[in-house]
Structure 1
Amino acid sequence: MGNEIEELHKIKRAFKPSLSVPIYTTIIAIAPFLHLLLDIADRNYERILMLTLLSTFLTVYTTFIWTSYYYKMINYKREIKDYKENPNAYNW
């Protein structure tokens, strides 16, 4: 039992993705979009092209980060499932 818990912790350290990177990326990447909305609301169109391009790029980047997190989490769950099915046959 103790060895199984130890092995699960090893799998967790090796495969479980961190949620902090997608969250921090989202918080940072949303700033230009919010500035774009504020500039449109204030009818200040001086920076609209730059903010639109930056918002578009960062939205694509944030989508990539979240998609990567999703696939890493699927891989982590698959590894846990494989280990729990047959711990003796689990191949590192």
Structure 2
Amino acid sequence: MKIKPLLAPTLTAIGLSMALAMPTTAFAQTCKVTDPTGTPLNARATPNGKVIGQVKNGTTVYVSEYDYDDKGRPWVLVFHARTDRYIGWVFREFISCY
């Protein structure tokens, strides 16, 4: 079966746009908050930035991005695993992934 010349690029564009439209968590890694202090973990607007919320120890999250602050420390952008709700950036050392 031959595909018309314009049909193949159109199908490719549709497939790409559908992949880009998926939620950030569609390809995220499942992890759990494991802060050794037992206190809620601060969630930030940017790596080591302004605190915008907290997430309880033991909460399952999706990690969608990795980044480093100006001191070279690792941070991850997380979403709540059950609700897909945006949480923010948290210190990577307090997240255990499986």
Structure whose residues are more often strand by fraction: 2
Q: Which has the larger radius of gyration?
A: 1
Structure whose residues are more often helix by fraction: 1
Query: How high is the TM-score relative to the length of structure 2?
Result: 0.30
